[in-house]
Structure 1
Amino acid sequence: MGLEIVLNDITEGAKADVRRINEEAESASELIIGEARQASKEALGSRLAEVEEKLEQQRQQVLSSANLEVRRIALNKRKTLLDQVYDQALEQIKELPADKNEEYLKVLIEANEKDGHRIYSNKESEKIVKKLSSLEYGGNIDCIGGIVIESEDGTIRLDFTYDLIVKNTYDKSLKSISDILNG
């Protein structure tokens, strides 16, 4: 029986060693699996954060592009509107009644005649200008109305054409008009 006891002790010791090794292996495997899960979660979280950051950047770029496009469209609409107003002003001046045109020409001539020797106008205003001015009539110019007064030697020309008056007024007022349209 002595041999059976020794054999039994060895078997029991071996079983205990197997249980201990299995428990250690189980514990090590759980630790490795836990670490792997944690690393996987961290990697997934990091990747997710990168993707979210890229999406936010793309969203910002799309918003910026859309805002620029809206501004461009709004500026084009305002420019179109301003051009229409400018063109309408010129059309209304072209359609001035003869008595109003004569009245405006009289004011321009009286205020500036002393500075010149010759006077020019468009074909439609020639008779009126000749009647109102004591200056030599220099001929017709291409404009919607108004006058040009020239010095005797031709070196100085004062342009009081309606075209230029409207353009100068428009250019001077453009900033304030734009401010009004922009709110």
Structure 2
Amino acid sequence: MGLDAIVEEIRAKGKAEADRISGETYQEASKIIADAQSQAARIKAARQEAVRKEIDRMRQQELSSANLEVKRAMLNARKELLDEVYANAKDTINKFPAERNQKLLKLIIVKNEDSNTKIYSRAKDRSAVQKLTKLNYAGEIDCIGGVVIENEAGTEFLDLRYETILKNASERSLKEVSDILFR
């Protein structure tokens, strides 16, 4: 065998070895690229899921905040309406005709004058109150009507002013009135 044949054989073996190494390198590079693409896809999917969850959380938070604001606005509107009804009731009581006012005062005084000695009323009702009771008239109070009755020692008193009665009735029936008005 000649030198040329040996060189050619070595070249052929070298080329075959180079082709084999090149093929293995290509396969390994392809596997690395495929793994990197797969990992990139997983990372991308995970980040997209995290972003989607964050968007959903923010959307829910905004929705909850908006619902709370709507409820707050509705409650404020209801409170304003109830306050207006209360003010109108107070104004109506303040404008009671004298005859009706005297009937109410008589009912209040007769029911509450036992074991008490002093009575207070607004200036406008002084003469009517003095005619309706044997209690000592102790002075005038600032109110829309009604009386305050006190025991002799001044340690106990009954606040029977119309605005106090209205306030107590309003507080007791607030839920019922609210249910009727805002069904």
Map of 2:169 onto structure 1: 169
Gaps of at least 5 residues in structure 2 are: none
Whole-angstrom distance in 1 between the partners of 2:43 and 2:181: 53
Q: Deviations over 1:22-42 (max 9, x none)?
A: 211211111111011011111
Deviation of residue 45 (structure 1)? 1.4
Residue 95 of structure 2 is aligned to residue 78 of structure 1: no
Whole-angstrom distance in 1 between the partners of 2:36 and 2:102: 96
Q: Secondary structure at the match of 1:24?
A: helix
**Counterpart code for 2:33:** I
**Counterpart code for 1:102:** Q
**Counterpart code for 2:117:** H
Match runs of 1:1-183 below 5 Å:
2-178=2-178
Q: 1:153 to 1:8 in 2, by over 3 A?
A: closer
**TM-score, length of structure 1 as denominator length:** 0.88
Whole-angstrom distance in 1 between the partners of 2:38 and 2:18: 30
Gaps of at least 5 residues in structure 1 are: none
Q: Secondary structure at the match of 1:158?
A: strand
Deviation of residue 148 (structure 1)? 1.6
**TM-score, length of structure 2 as denominator length:** 0.88
Whole-angstrom distance in 1 between the partners of 2:181 and 2:2: 112
Identity of aligned residues (%): 43
Q: Deviations over 1:30-78 (max 9, x none)?
A: 1111011011111111222222222222223222322322222222222
Q: Deviations over 1:116-158 (max 9, x none)?
A: 2222211111122122222222221111001122223333222
RMSD between aligned residues: 2.0
**Counterpart code for 1:69:** E
Q: 1:136 to 1:12 in 2, by over 3 A?
A: same
